[in-house]
Amino acid sequence: MAKLRVVDGPLTGTEYALKGGPAAAGRHADCAVPIPDPRVSRNHAEFIPDDNGDYAIIDLGSANGTSVNGIPLSPGNPRALCGGDEIRMGRNTFRFFSGDARIPNVDIPGFTLEDILAEGGMGSICRAKRKDTGQEVAIKILHRGYARHEEFVNRFIQEARASERLSHPHIVKVFNVGKTDNGRYYYSMELVRGPTLTQKIPSLKREEALTIFMEIADALEYAHRRGIIHRDIKPDNILIGEYGEPKLTDLGIAVLDQAEMIQTGQRVLGTPHYMSPEQASGGIITAATDVYSLGATFFHVLSGSPLFDAATPEQIMIKHVRERPRSLAEAVPDFPPEISAIVDRTLEKDPARRYAGAGRLRDELAKRIRVLYPDLLRGELEDERRKSGGGTMKWAAAAAILLLLAAAICFFLW
């Protein structure tokens, strides 16, 4: 049975079963999915199944709209749903689970699977607990079909092992990769207790968004220097931790999604709204590809709408290749022109005209933020000092103790 789970907002943790027939969602008490939220219309949207049990959602002309994976729906036009899709209605974000969404029947050595967090074209993500320490982690388990594609499996293992070596405060840590006795591949990673950036878009303050932009650019610079290109930067791949810190996930592993999409034509990436022109046209992938996708991501975050939109994924890809992107200054006229210019440069069609690396992008953002929002970076430095256990004060105290010890030794020797 398909279901919805609220993953962000006042109703977080609430679940609704979709029992096979059409299910209305709204503020009206008679709705199959009742949402007590003043920003939700009485009859807001409807979930409609087909003969195969697959669901679509249609906005019923709601006052404040409905979005799927951050993309607003046109009223009256149904949108097919896949497992893992995130639906925003009012102040709540709902994650859709298809009828077969359940914990995979696999035995992963050393772990107990406790709950399913998400599902998608590549596999399922489960919350798990280590049997020896009780530590909670997230485990991504690939669908069985991947075992038949040797090239995909080899690349998956190679990329996951490369990600194991990464250690950065804004990258989700991958712990290990393995294979179960019945041939299912998996990897375990840090469990981030927070929403995706997609879920945060409606409530994100401008200053918060710029800080996240800079910190993810720093994470990409770190990965690029170690030979890893993400290839699938998008709001869904940026998680927000419980203290507000952004974490980039699926680093280096997302290439498998794209390979599968090209191979089978299936919807695996979600949408191509953040895809660079060279990706869309089958060109060479470089670090500049990630810079473009990060720019497209933050164009969406800062403006509230994607860079390009169209009726089909193919049409969106063609726009990335051929059409001039809107300037952020056009989309948000009151936005500081210095920041708009930075976003615009990341979205150049020619990779050589973008920033020479994510580090250059980070530095330019930091320079502009320092002038426009001086308290923002000062607060960040204070946060880093607190996280590191006192920072400068800690070292100053240590130095004072050493000086006192040296003086005592000299006194006794004298």
Residues tagged active-site: 232
DSSP-derived secondary structure letter, 335: S
Residue in this structure with the two tokens 């680093």, named with its chain if needed = 251
Q: Which helix (H) or strand (E) holds 315?
A: helix 313-322
Q: How far apart are CA 290 and CA 302, in angstroms?
A: 18
Return the DSSP state at 271: -
The token duo for 198 is 């997609």
Distance CA 253, CA 235 (A): 16
CB 326 within 8 A of CB 344: no
CA dihedral angle for residue 75, residue 80, residue 83, residue 87, rounded to 10 degrees: -10
C-beta neighbour count of 52 within 10 angstroms: 7
Contact by Cβ (8 Å): 2, 21: no
Q: Residue 333, CB half-sphere, CA atoms under 13 Å: how many?
A: 0
- Closest by CA to 215, choosing from 341, 377, 348, is 377
State the SS3 of 277-306.
Answer: HHHHCCCCCCHHHHHHHHHHHHHHHHHCCC
Q: What are phi and psi of 275, to 5 degrees?
A: -85, 135
**Alpha helices in 195-312, H assignment, sequence order:** 197-200, 206-225, 255-264, 277-280, 287-303
DSSP state at residue 36:
-
What span, in angstroms and rounded, lies between the C-alpha atoms of 305 and 276? Answer: 17
Asked whether the beta carbons of 184 and 104 are under 8 A apart, the reply is yes
Quote the tokens at residue 225.
């220097």
Rounded Cα distance between 356 and 175, Å, is: 31
Distance from first CA to last CA of the chain, Å, rounded? Answer: 84
DSSP β-bridge partners for residue 5: 15, 95
